Amino acid sequence: MSGTGMASISTFTPGGVAGTLALGAVIYALYQLIRFLWYMRYLSNVFRDVPGPGNSHWLYGDMFQSSTEGDRRLEYLRQLCKQFPRFYRIWIGPKPVIMLTHPDTIKIVLKTAEPKSVGFGGIYRHGRPWLGDGLLIAGGQRWARARRLLTPAFHFDVLRPYMHIYNEAAEELLTNIGPCEKSGKSFETFSVVSACTLDIILRCAFSYRTNCQNLNEAHPYVTAVNEIAEEWANRNRKPWLYPDIIFYLTKKGRLFTRQCKYVHGVAEEVIDKRKRTLDAGGVPEKKYKDFLDILLMARDENGKGLTREEIRNEVDTFLFEGHDTTASAISWILYSLATHPEHQIRVQEEIDHVLEGRQSDRLQWDDMPKLEYLTMCIKEGMRLHSPVPFIQRESTREFTIDGKTLPPGTNLTCAIYSVHHNPTVWHNSLDFIPQRFSKENTTKMDSFAFIPFAAGPRNCIGQQFAMNEEKVTIARILHKYTIEVDPTVEVRKHPAAVMRSKNGIYLHVKSRH
């Protein structure tokens, strides 16, 4: 018996076990390959008759059809929109993506609360290590709960006191660019404006003061956000970097990790400082609850508050959306006005009229509706340059677009830049024409033709905050200075998480008074 027992045991030697495991691994790999090929065939059949480019590669799809240069990629998008003015299909590797380019088609998605796309080929997947499931990326009940809890932070009664912060931050910005007027040197707009908008969001939303506008170089937080956003967009275009195990071994992946750790640390410092104050029974010296107060004290219908991670995700999200997108908008609007002096003069005349007879140059809450022509220029600047070029949803149900039924799990890209340059919607879309947004013209405009803040239930919660910030900052600059573009530096668009300029935007300033 013992001999038989030993013989039986010997058949299960390590070599035999390894062979069995290897065979199992091969069978599993073949199973997954068959599943993948079946799924590819299914997608091919479903999306075969959806309009789109006809030269897609069988492996990587349309990912390399456009140039790596940002301005050329945007030109390619305009060409596709001209060819397919309502919607079209592209392939991101084996994954089809629907590009919505017309108000009629984009509203089908934006009127819903479908979640952002975080799966394979989804543009938000690689932003989650930075922003987590904050309001920008979260979906379903998590998003609905956060939206409900955070909406009070953007009530008019909360926004009104922020006017003095906008003005104070704008005055510091003017102080920083003042030496350029004396020296005749140009200044890089994005870096200066980003520091200003970071100062504003920190003070308004978190009652947190820093010296971020007083540094002689770009604030490290601004630099970190720029690098994170750039690598986020870069990774989205390179499917071989999709697996985390590969990406985080690369030099860029390690930089991404370091910068995420840094911005998370900034958010946690902001949270911890306020929490210590509240725990000690202290009350910040202000008459209103700011965004951070609401985050820390919010309770749902079950009396449950946000977790520490949820609070940090929201702080990270609002620090990004509250300074980076607004800085992009302000920079491109200034560029538009600098290249169109006739419109700049009209804006200056309007500002002069609003401030006439005042001892202070500060703008007030009641002045905002009076800046009608500036508002038209701001909207046209955001249409022309689209600070947020794209947003994307992943369908949880079937969607029918122009008679074509798309299955659940489809990535639906709301191509804001394309909608804003659709030749069937906008005449001479590359021209800066603020009159497009006159009261007379806007009454005839489809509400989904101009969507810099998205639209529908998942629109930007802070759009009124951003519009007022843009008005005050731009108005204060143009009241004091006339701006001109530095002709020695070429301005070239570079779309990432927000619209940037590859070489920056350099402006000269000349005092008006």
Q: CATH number for the domain including 385?
A: 1.10.630.10
Residue given tokens 């499931």 in the structure block: 133
Q: Is residue 32 part of a domain?
A: no
Mapped onto helix, strand or coil, the DSSP state of residue 90 is strand
Cα 47 from Cα 401, distance rounded (Å): 12
Cα 413 from Cα 376, distance rounded (Å): 27
Least confident stretch, 98-102, 186-190, 285-289, 492-496: 285-289
Q: Is residue 396 part of a domain?
A: yes
Output the pLDDT for position 294.
84
Mapped onto helix, strand or coil, the DSSP state of residue 107 is helix
Output the pLDDT for position 12.
52
- Inform me whether the pLDDT recorded for 427 exceeds 70: yes
Output the pLDDT for position 477.
98
Q: Is residue 21 part of a domain?
A: no
Output the pLDDT for position 16.
74
For the chain, what percent of residues have pLDDT higher than 70? Answer: 95
Cα 171 from Cα 182, distance rounded (Å): 17
Residue 460 annotated as binding site: yes
- Inform me whether the pLDDT recorded for 381 exceeds 60: yes
Output the pLDDT for position 303.
83
Over residues 339-365, mean pLDDT: 96
**How high does pLDDT run on average in the chain?**
90
Band the pLDDT of 56: cuts 50, 70, 90. Answer: confident
Residue given tokens 């951070």 in the structure block: 292
Instruction: Catalogue the long-range contacts made by 260-266 (C-beta closer than 8 Å, 24 or more residues apart).
Output: 260/129, 260/130, 260/228, 262/220, 262/221, 262/224, 263/130, 263/221, 263/224, 263/225, 263/228, 263/316, 263/319, 264/312, 264/316, 266/221, 266/319
Residue 482's φ and ψ, nearest 5 degrees, are -100, 135
Q: Which residues, 6 or more positions from 301, have their beta carbon under 8 angstroms from its beta carbon?
A: none
Cα 275 from Cα 273, distance rounded (Å): 6
- Inform me whether the pLDDT recorded for 71 exceeds 60: yes
Q: Tokens in use for 472?
A: 């005050």
- Starting at the edge strand found earlier in the chain, the sheet holding 87-92 runs 87-92, 95-100, 411-414, 391-394
Residue given tokens 């990432």 in the structure block: 496
Q: Is residue 27 part of a domain?
A: no
Report yes or no: 305 and 297 within 8 Å, Cβ to Cβ.
Answer: yes
Mapped onto helix, strand or coil, the DSSP state of residue 102 is coil
Cα 477 from Cα 471, distance rounded (Å): 10
Over residues 469-487, mean pLDDT: 98
Q: Is residue 33 part of a domain?
A: no
Residue given tokens 């009629």 in the structure block: 104
Reported in sequence order, the residue ranges of 442-505 that DSSP labels E, i.e. its strands, are 481-485, 493-495, 499-501
Q: Is residue 363 part of a domain?
A: yes
Band the pLDDT of 3: cuts 50, 70, 90. Answer: very low
Over residues 47-54, mean pLDDT: 88
Mapped onto helix, strand or coil, the DSSP state of residue 192 is helix
Mean pLDDT is highest, among 6-15, 28-37, 50-59, 145-154, for 145-154
- Inform me whether the pLDDT recorded for 449 exceeds 60: yes
Q: Could you tell me which residue, 12 or 381, shows the higher pLDDT?
A: 381
Q: Which residues, 6 or more positions from 128, have their beta carbon under 8 angstroms from its beta carbon?
A: 118, 137
Cα 424 from Cα 426, distance rounded (Å): 6
Q: Which residues, 6 or more positions from 144, have their beta carbon under 8 angstroms from its beta carbon?
A: 113
- Three-state SS sequence of 122-149: CCCHHHHHHHCCCCCCCCHHHHHHHHHH
How many structural domains comprise the chain? 1
**pTM of this structure:** 0.89
Indicate the DSSP class of residue 3.
H
Report yes or no: 94 and 61 within 8 Å, Cβ to Cβ.
Answer: yes
Cα 179 from Cα 388, distance rounded (Å): 32
Output the pLDDT for position 248.
96
Report yes or no: 60 and 375 within 8 Å, Cβ to Cβ.
Answer: no
Cα 453 from Cα 461, distance rounded (Å): 9
- Inform me whether the pLDDT recorded for 2 exceeds 50: no
Output the pLDDT for position 109.
97
Output the CA–CA distances (angstroms, integers) from residue 216 to 180, 191, 326, in the order listed: 14, 11, 22
Band the pLDDT of 278: cuts 50, 70, 90. Answer: confident
- CA-only gyration radius of the chain, Å: 26
Q: Nearest CA to 320 among 439, 496, 140, 160?
A: 496
- Hey, how many other C-beta atoms are within 10 angstroms of the C-beta on 344? 19
Q: Tokens in use for 214?
A: 């007083």
The alpha carbon of 373 is separated from its chain's Cα centroid by a whole number of angstroms, namely: 26
Band the pLDDT of 222: cuts 50, 70, 90. Answer: confident
Q: Is residue 231 part of a domain?
A: yes
Over residues 331-357, mean pLDDT: 97
Cα 72 from Cα 78, distance rounded (Å): 10
- Inform me whether the pLDDT recorded for 438 exceeds 50: yes
Q: How deeply is 403 buried, as exposed, middle or buried, from its count of CB atoms within 10 A (0-12, 13-18, 19+)?
A: exposed
Output the pLDDT for position 7.
45
- Hey, how many other C-beta atoms are within 10 angstroms of the C-beta on 426? 18
Q: Tokens in use for 209?
A: 């003061």
Band the pLDDT of 291: cuts 50, 70, 90. Answer: confident
Look up the domain containing 116 and give its range. 60-511
Q: Is residue 43 part of a domain?
A: no
Least confident stretch, 211-215, 239-243, 491-495: 211-215
Output the pLDDT for position 13.
62
Reported in sequence order, the residue ranges of 368-445 that DSSP labels E, i.e. its strands, are 391-394, 399-401, 404-406, 411-414
Pairing of strands 411-414, 95-100: parallel
Output the pLDDT for position 1.
44
